[in-house]
Amino acid sequence: MKSDKLTRMRPSASLFSSDYVLKLDCSDLLVGMFVSELDSRRSDAPFPLNGFHLRKNEDIRTLQKFCKFVYIDTNRGVPPRQKKARQLTMLSRARKSARVSTSLNVKRDTYPVTHSIKQQIDKAFRLYTKLQADFLATTQAVRANGKLEFAELDKPIDGLVDIIIANPQSLIWLLNTDPSKSHQVSYCVRAAIWATILARQIGINRNEMKVLFLGTLLADIGMHLLPLRLVNKRGSFRKKEFLAYKKHVELGLKLLSAHQAVDDRIVGILRCHHERHDGLGFPRGLKGGQIPGLARIANLAYSFERLLRKDSDTQSVSPAKAMAKLYKQRELKFPEQLVVEFIHTMGTYPAGTVVELASGELALVLEQNSTEKLFPKLAYITNAEKMRLNNPRVLDLPNRHQARRRHTITSSSSVDCCNIDSSEFTFRFCGKRIGIGALGFRL
């Protein structure tokens, strides 16, 4: 079973019901089973994030070389010869009890790609940095005088929504190679962009995308009326701290209430962005379809951003690993369909991430391959000994079988490996820039 032969599941309405996940020894695998997760010791194995079917005995034998046990989904494939109740994991029991999602009306082909990353990168960076600066000023004003003004945010939001519609990979690349100076509210801007990228994937109209962007951006605005020690807290809250932290939803709604003309959907995002699909969220413990659709998307975007950053702005994980963790939270925090659509638009190995190849070289993912997700366009940035290359080499993975084996991605590495800072590559592969300011273009 070679990674380029593994079948990725295509989302359909029938897949988005509560699933039964069984932990199974690899010696008990059968042809036709659907493997949803690998054992944690081989989480870096070169298999699709959202699972795969075992098509033949060779697939089973190859998988046994990587893992001692796996998790299978009996709603998607063949069950074990004898299904035992004790094999059901705590996670699968929780998913079984969670409310079944209402299927989204997904329209993936609503927006064609009209621009390349190279065509959009400079404008995207300019608008992204402007929005960060404007939003930082907005939050500082909230803390200083308790008033929320956000009219200045409208223009950069408009521009960023247009860029996402034209090609979401431009901002996926930018956020994964982010060269801007990070500050305490950067995560809100980034979450708003992740949310809008997912909205485009689903086919939401432009007006609703803009509402989602602003609502997600403002979702944590109440945090700036809390003591700074809570805002800057890293790690888990104590009980009293968590009770105080939860008040930021109420405080944010109070700030927003001063704007009588604000869209009700924005209010809904602020009120419900901490609700969970299984009903264990706050402030009202809403479940499943009780949660507004845009609030679900905002919640997923914030969760993804938190997974990327862990508990510190200086510590990060790769987007591929963050997506794998996000997938484990399906039907608990969010509907499975939302997670699958987000993974689909990000790609198995998102643009701008560092990966390790079977040859031992490290490479930067430049573009997705629309037909084969496991073989994107890459730029090689180290040799097999992890020594940096002075001139990174750009190469599309070839079709020849032996060459493909050498260039197969074996893991999605942290950007910290070998002291590689992905931000140095933001504009490296976008051509030479000609012109000044907004009038410039790239060759």
Report domain extents, the chain. 3-97, 117-345, 354-423
pLDDT tens per residue across all 443 residues of the chain? 433 333 333 333 333 333 467 888 888 888 888 888 787 555 556 666 667 888 777 788 888 878 888 888 777 777 787 654 444 555 555 555 555 555 678 888 899 999 999 999 999 999 999 999 999 999 999 999 999 999 999 999 999 999 999 999 999 999 999 988 777 889 999 999 999 999 999 999 999 999 999 999 999 999 999 998 888 877 778 888 899 999 999 999 999 999 989 999 999 999 999 999 999 999 999 998 899 999 999 999 999 999 987 644 445 678 888 888 898 888 889 998 899 999 989 988 899 988 888 888 888 999 887 767 777 888 989 888 888 888 888 876 555 444 555 567 776 654 445 567 788 888 888 777 776 666 666 65
Q: Report the DSSP beta bridge partners of residue 351.
A: none
For residues 157 and 211, the answer to whether their CB atoms sit within 8 Å is no
For residues 351 and 380, the answer to whether their CB atoms sit within 8 Å is no
Superfamily grouping for domain 117-345: Hypothetical protein af1432 (1.10.3210.10)
For residues 318 and 49, the answer to whether their CB atoms sit within 8 Å is no
